[in-house]
Amino acid sequence: MDSNSPDIARLHGAFRGLRDSLSAEIVGQAPLVEGLLIALLADGHLLVEGAPGLAKTSAIRALAARLDADFARLQFTPDLLPADLTGTEVWRPQDGRFEFQPGPVFHSLLLADEINRAPAKVQSALLEAMGERQVTIGRHTYPLPALFLVMATQNPIEQEGTFPLPEAQLDRFLMYLRIGYPDAGVESEILRLARERARGGATGDSAPARMPLEDVFAARRAVLDLHLAPQLERYLVELVLASRDAARYDAALARRIAWGASPRGSIALERCARARAWLAGRDFVTPEDVRAVAPDVLRHRVLPSYEATAEGWDGDRLVAELLARVPLP
């Protein structure tokens, strides 16, 4: 599709309007808003970590209100069962048969709140849904909606009663965002908006226009049409390869990395860099696009060794070291 076509210009305008509308409602969380839009365009799932009260739930609700798609929220708890997520077959004696009652996972947008509080069986059920875009109940397999985006949250505090996510499931998340507290100016703006809402005042459109899903799918195709220079693709691949064999750059860094990113990491890095470039209105990807999304794409895919963890290293620091050592194209 021609990047200068009227349809592409219309799609760019629609997504700019969507970003502006979300930013006006979700104040002070620009990285979260951008991450949601990148995940939407790159057809992936999002894991968000942040303290309570940082608008994580509000952000996905606000996005759902602006898309022609349904939304469900599921609070994950230690006593949650797989059927609470996927649904179950209910016996209908009047018909003499079982009837499948779909669960929350069959919505286009799913908020998995405090995902690390759910036990392994629930994690396994969600893993199939995220990876295969389907759910298997008994002998039957049910497809999920064409638009299916999971935004999972986890709390960095109160680790009692939590179940660490398996590395295989972490790898299913396109991006892993970490969000922090707003500054003083943003906090004052949040107070002002909260007062207006408490008074029943308008804080924007009470019923925002909903973007048709056809526009989302068209934008995804346009993202894949962006130009990615061969030397930039080599740089992107080299970043991922360096996470598996950092000894070519620094032997000490290599000892600090237990596992590097999988090929799924390469795919995610390319998709997210393309989506970021498209959101910026460009028809080509730049090295800055790759470097800007690399921490969110790789922090959960580059795992520190035991020694590195004991020294206080984490995925963020490892990715920062890789970005510093792999030369730009």
CATH number at residue 257: 1.10.8.80
The number of helix segments (H) and strand segments (E) in the chain equals 14, 11
Per-residue pLDDT, 139: 81
The answer to whether residue 121 is domain-embedded is: yes
Q: Residue 291: which of 313, 275, 314, 269 has the closest Cα?
A: 269
Number of CB atoms found within 10 A of residue 179's CB: 20
Q: Residue 145: which of 36, 72, 63 has the closest Cα?
A: 72
| Neighbour-count burial for 274-289, b at 16+ CB within 10 Å, e otherwise | bbbbbbeeeeebbeeb
Residues 251 and 290 both lie in one domain? yes
Residues 299 and 181 both lie in one domain? no
Q: How far apart are CA 135 and CA 127, in angstroms?
A: 10
The answer to whether residue 312 is domain-embedded is: yes
Residues 176 and 284 both lie in one domain? no
Range of the domain at 72: 26-199
Do 44 and 176 form a contact (C-beta atoms < 8 A)?
Answer: no
Look up tokens 């790789």; give the residue: 298
Per-residue pLDDT, 2: 56
* Contact partners, residue 212, CB within 8 Å, separation at least 6: 68
Phi, psi of 237 (to 5 degrees): -65, -40
Per-residue pLDDT, 178: 93
Residues 149 and 259 both lie in one domain? no
Per-residue pLDDT, 123: 83
194-200-202 Cα angle (round to 5): 80
Per-residue pLDDT, 307: 93
Provide the CATH number for the domain around residue 174.
Answer: 3.40.50.300
Do 3 and 225 form a contact (C-beta atoms < 8 A)?
Answer: yes
Name the β-bridge partners of 46: 151, 175
Look up tokens 């908006």; give the residue: 193
User: Helix crossing, 230-244 with 315-325: angle to 10°?
Assistant: 130
Do 274 and 281 form a contact (C-beta atoms < 8 A)?
Answer: no
Per-residue pLDDT, 133: 93
How would you write the pLDDT of the chain (329 residues) with one tens digit per residue? 555 567 999 999 999 999 999 999 998 899 999 999 999 999 999 999 988 888 899 999 999 999 999 999 999 988 999 999 999 888 888 888 888 899 999 999 999 999 888 888 888 888 889 989 999 887 888 999 999 999 999 887 766 667 778 777 789 999 999 998 888 988 998 898 888 888 875 544 467 889 999 999 999 999 999 999 999 999 999 999 999 999 999 999 999 999 999 999 999 999 999 999 999 999 999 999 999 999 999 999 999 999 999 999 999 999 999 999 999 98
Per-residue pLDDT, 145: 94
